[in-house]
Structure 1
Amino acid sequence: MISYNTKEWFTFIFRFHRSDTVRKLFPIMIAIAFYSYAVGYAEVEYFKLSENNQIKNITIMHSMLGFVLSLLLVFRTNTAYDRWWEGRKLWGGLVNNSRNLALKLSVMLKDEHDKVFFRKTIPSYASVLSKHLRNEDTGKQLFDDVDLQIDHYKHRPNQVMKMMYSKINDLYTSQKITGDQLIVLNSELQSFTDICGACERIKNTPIPYSYSAFIKKFIFFYTMTLPFGFSLSLGYYVIPVVVFCFYAFASLELIAEEIEDPFGMDENDLPTPKMAENIKKHIEEIL
């Protein structure tokens, strides 16, 4: 995720980064500029249409549909941001639940060997979940000092959680923790799986294809018809106007596409590996 100072307003205007929409849309913007020039040349120079020609009235359609398109894009970006923010809240919950589990275990457990197990396993769950959501291969080596045997063909976070459940059950059978303590720890462990399931729901349930495709088609046809209506009144100035309109509409769609999956590798996605490292640091301080 890009870190920046929100108060540096003017620097945003002249700064470009890898995920900037200008870089992604630049080839299409050039093509639209040539298209607008061709339409403007045909209407003004070749056919020599007057400003009173009926084709000028096509701008009425743009006025009506522009409002509809704006509403669709607002709904699209809000929906995508809700998914991004929900993912951030889930990982914030994972951080807090990891701390709570470590704090309770630090008080309940007396054997240092048992503490070492959870000191390694609790942060490993966050690391495995991060790789699981990014579809990355999880090797045996998770952190510099943590080794866990992970089967790539099975649900990887569940394997780590099974290790912790098995250890908690062994602690109970060996009477190192009481039945009441077992119930308390069970609710903490269950919250890990709940967070994993919620993250998978966000990742595996994209915006419906028909809705996303309709917005792209709407933007395309709306932009392609702009030169016909404005060439007679703007002349060749229609080229930057149409290019800018396309840039504004298409950028909103690209931003929504980027943040609707907050666990990916894009510039503005959540820094889940860094969060996993922070969890490791906090758990080692507690245990």
Structure 2
Amino acid sequence: MTVEKPSWLQVALQIRGSVVPAIFPRLSLCTGLGLIVSIVHYYGYDLPQQIFASVISNVAYNLVLGLLMVFRTNTAYSRYWEGRQIWGNIIINSLNLGRKIRVLVAENEPIVQESKAAAIKLLSAFSIATKLHLRRMPVNKELETLLTPSQYLELKDAKNPPLKIALWIGNYLKQQQIQNRLTTFELVEMNAKLDNMVEGFIGCDRILTTPIPPAYTIYLKRVLLIYCLILPLQLVANLNWWTAPIVAIISFILLGVEEIGNQIENPFGIEPNDLPVDEICHKLVKNLEDVITTDLPSLTNS
């Protein structure tokens, strides 16, 4: 089955996922100012065009604006990409740990299979709890089907649900080792996977709680605002009534790039340009369900 990709033109014109709705008020302001400047110029009123034109054409000013825009975009994208890598590591370690629990924990009692399934569900719960924690959302019904009633109630009162779930998983593994269902070497190896999951959670939380320094953000917005407000005064002498459309195009480019940085610097939200964390967690839940339900072939000596 082939997935039909949208055409280049469809992607270029689509609204969902674009920054147009976010920047539209600012874009309208700049365009309206361009129109006002054109009207004032048309009726022959003097405008301080030369003074403002020298500001915008100044190499230092343009260099500062360019460097700030590049810094803003690169910093935001590095946070976005790091967040995706961290979530990839959480998924890899969750699947590997689930596989090891399913295969390596010895089933010498009937109840063991049920406890294994419950432990593997905790791996799914860890990813969903991490997603909710990063979005500053409370424990909800997404977790209810993956936990026992007592666990669900306890988790609702926990200050750090992902860490609480990690403690439950670690305790399960230790109990299996005490009951001789895991060797010490297997316990160490599986705990390493759990440690990597917790490190991933901490890494995502670090991205979320370490914003770009406000001084950079404020300064960029001020420089960009000055540029967009002065731009019509520089262009009106040569463009006349074309000033507003040209200002709209240039403002769209600059404001759009700046807004992209705003939207992707926190990649764990629910906006179209954020990471598809919901889909990532849903796929992990389905894969771990397969780990639980897949029948393992019996191992016999040939």
State the TM-score, normalizing by the size of structure 1. 0.89
Flag the 1:43–1:114 CA change in 2: closer, same or farther, 3 A: same
Number of residue equivalences:
279
Q: Does residue 1:110 correspond to 2:106, yes or no? A: yes
**CA 1:140–1:241 in 2, change beyond 3 Å: closer, same or farther?**
closer
Deviates more, 1:111-120 or 1:72-81: 111-120
The superposition leaves residues 140-185 of structure 1 with CA deviations (integer Å, 9 ceiling, x where unpaired) of 6515454432134411101101111111111122222111111111
What letter corresponds to residue 40 of structure 1 in structure 2? S
How do residues 121-200 of structure 1 correspond to structure 2 at under 5 angstroms?
Answer: 121-139=122-140, 142=143, 144=145, 146-147=147-148, 148-149=151-152, 150-200=155-205
**Aligned partner of residue 156 in structure 2, secondary structure:** coil
Between the aligned partners of 1:143 and 1:271, the Cα distance in structure 2 is 22
Q: Tell me which residue corresponds to 1:40.
A: 38
CA separation of 1:44/1:120 partners in 2, compared to 1, >3 Å: closer, same or farther? Answer: same
Q: Does 1:81 align with 2:43?
A: no
TM-score, normalised relative to structure 2: 0.85
The answer on 1:275 being equivalent to 2:269 is no
Contact kept? 2:138, 2:156, Cα under 8 Å: no
Partner of 2:255: 250
Please give the alpha-carbon distance, in whole angstroms, between the structure 1 residues aligned to 2:93 and 2:277: 15
Deviation at 1:100, TM superposition (A): 1.1
- Residue 205 (structure 1) shift: 0.6
Alignment-mate amino acid for residue 255 of structure 2: A
Return the match for 1:61 from 34, 55, 64: 55
1:219 aligned residue: 224
Alpha-carbon distance in structure 2 between the residues aligned to 1:48 and 1:277: 63
Contact 1:44 1:231 in 2 (8 A): no
CA distance in structure 2 between the partners assigned to 1:143 and 1:154 by the alignment: 17
Q: Report the counterpart of residue 18 of structure 2 in structure 1.
A: 20
* Cα distance in structure 1, aligned partners of 2:52 and 2:29: 22
For 2:142 and 2:222, locate their aligned partners in 1 and report how far apart those are by CA, in whole Å. Answer: 46
Indicate if the aligned counterparts of 1:87 and 1:202 stay in contact, CA closer than 8 A.
Answer: yes
CA distance in 2, matches of 1:264, 1:163: 27
SS in 2 for 1:267: coil
The letter for the 1-side match of 2:8 is W
Q: Distance in 1 between matches of 2:226 and 2:100?
A: 59
Contact 1:56–1:230, Cα closer than 8 Å, also in 2:
no
Q: Distance in 2 between matches of 1:210 and 1:286?
A: 49
Instruction: Report SS of the residue matched to 2:143.
Output: strand
Letter paired with 2:209: N
Q: Do the aligned partners of residues 93 and 194 (structure 1) sit closer, same or farther apart at CA in structure 2, a change above 3 Å counting?
A: same
Give the drift of 1:59.
2.8
- 3-state secondary structure, aligned to 2:22: helix
The letter for the 2-side match of 1:72 is: L
Quote how far apart the aligned CAs of 1:197 are: 0.5
1:172-228 deviation per Cα after TM superposition (whole angstroms, max 9, x unaligned): 222221111111111111111100100000011111111011111111011111122
Q: Which stretches in structure 1 are left out of the alignment for 5+ residues?
A: none
Answering whether residue 291 of structure 2 is matched by residue 286 of structure 1, we say yes
User: CA contact under 8 A between 2:124 and 2:146: conserved in structure 1?
Assistant: no
Instruction: Give structure 2 stretches of 5+ with no counterpart.
Output: 108-112, 293-302
Of the three residues 237, 241, 256, the one matched with 2:242 is: 237
Runs of 4+ aligned structure 1 residues displaced above 6 Å come to: none
Percent identical among aligned pairs is 26
Counterparts of 1:4 and 1:200 in 2: how far apart (Å)? Answer: 36
For the residue of structure 1 that corresponds to 2:267, the secondary structure is coil
Give the whole-Å Cα distance in 2 for the aligned partners of 1:273 and 1:55: 52
Partner of 1:91: 87
Deviation digits for residues 98-120 of structure 1 (CA, Å, limit 9, x no counterpart) = 11112222221123133212221
Shift of 1:57: 6.0
- What amino acid sits opposite 1:234 in the alignment? L
